[in-house]
């Protein structure tokens, strides 16, 4: 699969999730089998570019290419400027956010709210493509099936986006009205794929290797994008890739491997955020890793009272050491609910 000049290693992608897909998480998912990862959304407002949050989101140190950055906003000129700002800081692909359902975003008419105004959506797409063209940077688009059940216009927007020069479209199989409720439908993805020549990616409820296989087969999509199912299970990409290649399942990871991966994740996380913010923001990641594991809830409550990175890391090591005394490998996750809830990654780029 290609996005502009970039050939991806496979058809497995990490979804952009605000407050989740920071550089440490993206790098970990890439190590564990994802062929492509998109950054959490960066605001198009220039007055916020110098904030610590935006600076962290624009940090791609040591990240394998292609580096894809998602931008969010409502003004075509500002979105074009944001694209240029991120290209100057290493972005090799710019993704336009028309999929975020968060009220904080939609109340500003950004994210999936743009699907209510197709003329404005197209103006933004055209402005961003024009800004990126001199730098030979591809532009992609992520959106929902529509604003609501009676206004499912992903197909018309996708056609207009392709005509304007967008080089890949990702469709999350829910409307904005649904948020993350109910089941994702991929009939819209199939219709978009049938109408477009550029790559089309299916997103929404890709939780298991079987889900990935079935969605690819049903839609003809070029790739699948995994979001919440990777929270606390970044090795899901390795498992999906192996299943798609061989039809067989990998064994669940060893407890000692998960212990090592999580501690490495925490160290990278603290390095990016600093000790205090890093310790606080790491709690959600730790909670996802131990979700539904034996003693996980009790450990999470205990861990959330710790206020020091070293104590947090030591507690994680002790928990997995104790778990390793009970079992060699993690239990099969297919019977478990998704680790993340929508409220856990509905931050805005501000």
Q: Which residues have a catalytic role annotated?
A: 100
Instruction: Please list, in sequence order, all residues whose beta carbon lies within 8 angstroms of the beta carbon of residue 13, skipping any fewer than 6 positions away.
Output: 34, 35, 36, 37, 38, 170, 201, 223, 224, 225, 226
Q: With beta carbons less than 8 A apart as the criterion, state whether 186 and 220 touch.
A: no
Instruction: Please list, in sequence order, all residues whose beta carbon lies within 8 angstroms of the beta carbon of residue 271, skipping any fewer than 6 positions away.
Output: 24, 278
Beta bridge partners of 169: 141, 200
Instruction: Please list, in sequence order, all residues whose beta carbon lies within 8 angstroms of the beta carbon of residue 39, skipping any fewer than 6 positions away.
Output: 16, 21, 22, 23, 26, 57, 60, 67, 68, 69, 70
* Cα(144)–Cα(261) distance, integer angstroms: 33
**Overall residue count recorded for the chain in this entry:** 350
Q: Taking every pair of C-alpha atoms in the chain, what is the biggest distance, in angstroms?
A: 60
Q: With beta carbons less than 8 A apart as the criterion, state whether 237 and 230 touch.
A: yes
Question: Tokens 């062929």 label which residue?
Answer: 35
CA 25 from chain centre, in angstroms, equals 10
Smallest CA-to-CA distance from 317 within 262, 276, 267 is with 262
Phi, psi angle pair for 218, to nearest 5°: -75, -30
Beta bridge partners of 140: 95, 168
* Cα(39)–Cα(91) distance, integer angstroms: 10
């Amino acid at each position: 699969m290609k996005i502009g000049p970039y050939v991806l290693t496979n058809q497995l992608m990490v979804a952009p999730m605000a407050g989740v897909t920071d550089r440490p998480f993206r790098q970990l998912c890439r190590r564990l089998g994802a062929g492509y990862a998109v950054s959490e959304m960066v605001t198009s407002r220039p007055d916020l570019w110098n904030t610590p949050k935006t600076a962290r989101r624009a940090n791609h140190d040591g990240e394998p290419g292609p580096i894809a950055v998602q931008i969010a906003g409502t003004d075509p000129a500002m979105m074009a400027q944001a694209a240029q700002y991120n290209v100057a800081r290493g972005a090799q692909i710019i993704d336009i956010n028309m999929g975020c359902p968060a009220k904080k975003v939609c109340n500003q008419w950004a994210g999936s709210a743009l699907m209510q105004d197709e003329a404005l959506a197209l103006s933004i797409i055209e402005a961003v493509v024009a800004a990126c063209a001199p730098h030979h940077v591809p532009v992609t688009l992520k959106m929902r099936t529509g604003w609501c059940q009676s206004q499912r216009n992903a197909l018309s927007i996708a056609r207009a986006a392709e005509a304007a020069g967008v080089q890949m479209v990702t469709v999350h199989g829910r409307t904005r009205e649904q948020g993350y409720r109910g089941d994702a439908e991929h009939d819209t993805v199939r219709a978009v794929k049938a109408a477009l020549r550029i790559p089309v990616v299916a997103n929404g409820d890709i939780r298991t290797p079987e889900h990935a296989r079935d969605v690819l087969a049903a839609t003809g999509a070029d790739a699948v994008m995994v979001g919440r199912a990777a929270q606390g299970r970044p090795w899901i990409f390795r498992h999906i890739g192996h299943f798609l290649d061989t039809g067989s399942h990998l064994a669940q990871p060893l407890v000692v491997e998960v212990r090592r991966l999580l501690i490495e994740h925490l160290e990278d996380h603290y390095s990016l955020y600093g000790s205090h913010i890093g310790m606080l923001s790491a709690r959600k990641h730790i909670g996802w890793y131990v979700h539904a594991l034996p003693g996980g809830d009790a450990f999470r409550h205990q861990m959330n009272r710790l206020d020091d990175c070293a104590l947090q890391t030591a507690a994680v090591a002790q928990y997995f050491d104790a778990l390793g005394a009970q079992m060699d490998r993690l239990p099969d996750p297919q019977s478990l609910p998704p680790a993340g809830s929508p409220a856990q990654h509905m931050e805005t780029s501000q």
